[in-house]
Structure 1
Amino acid sequence: MDDLLADFLTETHEGLVALDSALVRLERSPDDQPTLSEVFRLVHTIKGTCGFLGLSRLEAVAHAAENVLGRYRDGTLPVTPSGITLILSALDRVKAIVAGIESNGNEPVGEDAPLIAALNAAAEGEVAAVPPPVEVPQPVAVAAPVVPAAPVVAAAPPAEEHAHPVEAHAHDPAADAAAPGAGGVAAPQTIRVSVEVLENLMTLVSELVLTRNQLLQLARAHQSDAFAVPLQRLSHITSDLQEGVMKTRMQPIGNAWAKLPRLVRDLSHELGKKIELDMRGAQTELDRQVLELIRDPLTHMVRNSGDHGLESPADRRAAGKSETGRIILNAYHEGGHIIIEVGDDGRGLPVEKIRAKALANGLTTEAELAQMSEREVLAFIFAPGFSTAQQVTAVSGRGVGMDVVKTNIEKIGGTVELTSREGRGTTFTIKIPLTLAIASALIVEAGGERFALPQIGVVELVRVGAAQDGAPRIERIKDAAVLRLRDRLLPLVSLAGLLRLPPASEDEGFVAVMQVGGQAFGIILDRVFDTEEIVVKPVAPILRHITMFSGNTILGDGSVIMILDPNGIARAAGVGLDTTAEEERRGVPAVGMRSDASTALLLFRAGDGGPKAVPLGLIARLEDIPGERIEMSGLTPVVQYRGGLMPVVPLSAGWMPPGGATRQPVLVFTENDRAMGLAVEEILDVLDETLEIQPGTGRPGYIGSAVIAGRVTEVIDTAYWLAQAGEDWFRPNRPSRADATRPRLLLVEDSAFFRHLVVPALSAGGYEVTALENPVAALKLREEGVPFDAIISDIEMPGMDGIAFAQTLRAGGTWSEAPLIALSSRAEPTDVARGREAGFTDYVAKYDREALLRSLADCLSAPLAA
């Protein structure tokens, strides 16, 4: 008997025990919907799993019983005692078949047609005779499995940290004794222990850790050498005991994934699809109880991805994708949480179908639906019984699965989030918060209160203060606090302000630099005490709506403090995650900077008209320069800046150096060893907006206008103003009209400065742009089958340069016929000839935006020349 079948038999025994008692409860209370849902899910799990193991007889009986339960759950058939009796008869037949499988490893021969006919008749509302009860045969060679009433886990043997448990069977003592005597190797000794016992052990160890911390703190306070040695010994023993108990509860998540490769293989054959399963982070450990709760949800999600998410090979070819679809499983620890992601590169969720189904099912009204965002509409798939499938299959389509995911995850205080892009795929992110665990944390203070900050998300601690020479200082752009840290602007979050505590002075204190996903931000703190191992307690239900806390703990002095959740703090403060980094880590193809994504913008005032805007990613620093430091070099204002002369370009006409003590706000742009300052009147704000630019009327220095923060705002043409600083940057140019359509462009450019420069200009020209930093990332997109209308590439890049990139593309593959434009600072005839020989369609010098837009228009209006 293989491991998959043994696991199935063990789980089925536990499910059958739960089903017996649940059906009795349902008979007593026919309107008990939670019990009815539990019965349906258990039978559905048995049916679905045996179908993939090729147990056709067992599947047929379970499927017929599931049909009746489905009518009960939908409310189209009343629950009656005779119906419950019929379901119990079906379960008895399942037990008989399972017993036969245990005896010889195969399904026993038997006749189930009368029982199935009775179940089918009951599903149609007919009164059918109940077949005579079936006596469950007992295995001859192996005793019946002993199944405890409570959920159980296998205790790991001392010699093997994560040994697989020996299965729910009684062994012959004589045979066991004979094996060592005959020179055989005895099997590892394991026992099945109730989760409740391990929970109690963990609780006792947690209290022991707290007591140890209290004793250590008392010893430090009283400087008692007599207790130092025994306390140190107690500390070591406590740590070893805690580690041992944790090991009995922790298992790699790969144990829950063991059956999925086989499941995906059979699913691929059944559906006629090519499916590849990519499993990452299989060694990520989590609590066994949590593992059991997520096992079935993960199975449902993988089935749904294969059935609903991935297209057929023909449809994928038509969409420009590879024939083989991918299902990605990923698990990792982040910020003290366990993150599990299930994604695919399929068709994405059908938003319009979900809207129509939600309306038809009475889940919302047309007025409410009109006000909902796309994310809110997609959330309807978590509603019980919700499905957009056209027909019910043995794989999916009954509306069971996603509600199971949500229910089981919420039982342990977790959350499940959904991201989907039509034509690109869907990713579900399951976030499980800290429960009973011991973690290392910084004890910090803000607003007079102490908190625990998990060290796993802390990149560095920075001491700030205006009185210290050379120390970073907290600055403000309008109402937003920022920190200039190593030539970058780091957004800051005031913990005291976020929690509505009394604020402290920002002249002195600390900033904890956090990394959440791909986004870095700082948390302003008053004090930092020390690091301490803390026992994590779940957040009380009354506080669970405050997402800034992931738990609470007791310190050595007996104080109860809250544990901060960096992810929750980022969301509460409006600090967005870096979508590109998130998608790349989850296995969704990296899309880099997108013209349709949210962009960080700096708003300022200068010259006539309303506010002006520039992408924040272009700006290296914000300076407030004293007027007397601005000098004239001929007709050009300059300032001595970092060992050189930096030209200061005024944005408004008639600007004169302020002189004296008056300070001049300057936006500093740098690239390699070049720098330029743009003189403005006032810096207004920093915010995130989707930059939808309407082309202007040809006014020099401006790409066009966009509605930002509710006001019409001119977006400056940074290239124009950089050109005013000298020919070392590039030639000035004027904006061009946008095309009516939005072709998709891929920009490959290793300089982040030029990416931020080119993307808004191309977006204003009517293109949808994906920007990546190197050809390797671009080739990954090609492997995923992502289509583009044209490709723009730099030439001089580390690693694979633009010439090698062009040669690779032209050698074959999805993009082999796409227009390919070189964008380079080297545009001599020999360079152009070399580029065309490599396969480039056209060659444009940096940064001639007018020539680039003209080249794109020419390339996209005619097929690639032979």
Structure 2
Amino acid sequence: MDDLLADFLTETHEGLTALDSALVRLERTPDDQPTLSEVFRLVHTIKGTCGFLGLSRLEAVAHAAENVLGRYRDGTLPVTAGGITLILSALDRVKEIVAGLEASGSEPAGEDTPLIAALNAAAEGQVETAAAAALPAEAAADPAPEQGGALAAQTIRVSVEVLEDLMTLVSELVLTRNQLLQLARVHQSDAFAVPLQRLSHITSDLQEGVMKTRMQPIGTAWAKLPRLVRDLAHELGKKIDLDMRGAQTELDRQVLELIRDPLTHMVRNSGDHGLETPAERRAAGKPETGRIMLNAYHEGGHIIIEIGDDGRGLPVDRIRAKALANGLATEAELAQMSEREILRFIFAPGFSTAQQVTSVSGRGVGMDVVKTNIEKIGGTVELVSKEGRGATFTIKIPLTLAIVSALIVEAGGERFALPQIGVVELVRVGGAQDGAPRIERIKDAPVLRLRDRLLPLVSLAGLLRLAPPGDAATEGFVAVMQVGGQAFGIILDRVFDTEEIVVKPVAPILRHVTMFSGNTILGDGSVIMILDPNGIGRAAGVGLDAGGAEDRRAAPAAAGLRSDRSTSLLLFRAGEGAPKAVPLGLVARLEDIPAERIEMSGTTPVVQYRGGLMPLVSVAPGWTRPDDAARQAVLVFTENDRAMGLMVEEILDVIEERLVIQPGSGRSGFIGSAVVAGRVTEVIDTAHWLAQAGEDWFRAARPAATGAARPRVLLVEDSAFFRHLVVPGLAAAGYDVAAVENPAIALRLREEGVPFDAVISDIEMPEMDGIAFAEALRAGGPWSAVPLIALSSRTDPADIARGRDAGFTDYVGKYDRDALLQSLRDCLAAPVAA
């Protein structure tokens, strides 16, 4: 309460000063309505705050004065000189009480009954009598003693502009300090060492002191959130509890202003999208009241802000479908993304999974602005979501924007400042030392094998055109950066030192270069650019910013459908003989499971995985459960809510290579062999191993197919998983297959004149289903006589009849590989008549 009281005293002094001049002005011009309104508002504010703080004596005097001013404002009582005098007397009494309050921390004793009675009489129109009765008592009162109070700190209010100018001067002082220290290091003058050290300490202390004048508790940005959440709960018919922690955590006022709106939007999103209704929460076994949590704390010179809820979590499937529908990624790209990467599509402009537009959300604006605003101040935002348990956004922002800690680095002969906020670690690459990580290449892209993962690399010299294209250094340093949920490395030639730099805005001529966030002056007087890790990631194509989605939508539909393109293959060892391979697009995750977690369900090994039981199938025959101390490598295949783990002995590598399959000798579980990385490699028949996990895998809502061989076949299938599943099988059977994710792309191929000998289409697809697609093909055009095979999990007689009526030549169940191959042979032998 002491802090509140100190703030009240400061504001009351300001209000009383303003009231004196306003009342004098009102006395001169009694009809001045704006001045009258200002006077009433100031007195009303003083009275209201007194009541909140329990200052009964002050409240009584202010309330009586407010009654008189209320009559003036309503026009029911004329403004007179006597009335103004009486109100000024009341303000003098308020000043007297405030002086005593400052001195002792509590209201001083005193008798205000005559004054209050006079004010009440004035409110009834007895102004002159009231003034005469009250003034002698006022005149007789001793003036308030002049007392720097023990309670109220000696504070003054300073305009923001003055503080900004002071911060600028301190920044210049820091630059000068850095220059002097640089000179001292170069010339090694002992005579200047001690004074410079003292100057450095004083500068640091001054910098810290000035920074404190700009610091504000983050609670000031949260002040409106309780009311917002309360109104939101009423509007949505939900019960919401807001839990705010770390409200006293301080950060730069400039940063505070920039994050105020993003925080508000994210809290609204949690209340609207995240939290369920009371009925839904009861059904899910949760308390009726949902919880939104805000937490702020300091960590290593940064501010960490967490915004979370215990709601339903983010709908991964709907986000995936919306990203596909919006052209943000293809099915093949989505199939290779982790759940965390898919969730980051919510930051794409115009992205929304809301079923309908409301006054709260659904217009597809907001989260992209949140991300943009946070990145503007050098911050990052990460997202963790667990379905049914809630989601948490973690924002990491610098403590201040004026002076930041940065690494001074070199690339292509030029020096740059790299803010430390996004640097996870520095790795020395190449060199003569044994075991040092080395920069490798997948095709033309540089990567670094860092512990258990492949890290994509960005050559800073190449990106800024300071070196010839593709001329990436093989020795030097890699700065491992974390931008949101994406990690990547920046290849650097040298790393000099860490230095506190003063951030200067980018010159207008360079503002379109998003790889820079500003510039600074080093100790030697040279001007260098400050790198923006977010901009570097975007420019290099690292991450999921959906930039280029327009290019993908505008590109010809036939682009990238050549059957001789490379395929990403996962190589592994299982059993005796040659290495094994599976298309990487089929594999959802690689897991290294402790053997102690493997249990037996009858004769089937299973493992508890993501809230369910995942069956495990061994590629090698005669599998026996390993010792508890051992670990089991598992390839995880998922589709919708199904999961199967394929147990292997060792993961060998990931290879990009054109897949030319030579049919095998009919060995169960393998579709043939191919030469991969110069070695004969067996390509597994994924469908065979999936069938070992349960027959229902191919009977659920979304199955698929895709292929590659001499007669040209087009597969239209919205599931990337099933497209990857079918391609190797049809390729081994001798077909040249191109696969697209929806009928719209297929129809565009038709208009572009791309020929096919047969078309295979799923039935159940979003937007345009297989029936409508068949009718569109049979209505006329280049493909009207092309054999058309339906591929669906729905094989009832009525479904088959409906498909044939729409124009399908044949109807095959998913995934009956033999039936599909036989159907293709039959249809190509006797095509549909035009």
TM-score, normalised to structure 2, is: 0.48
Greater C-alpha radius of gyration: 2
TM-score, normalised to structure 1, is: 0.46
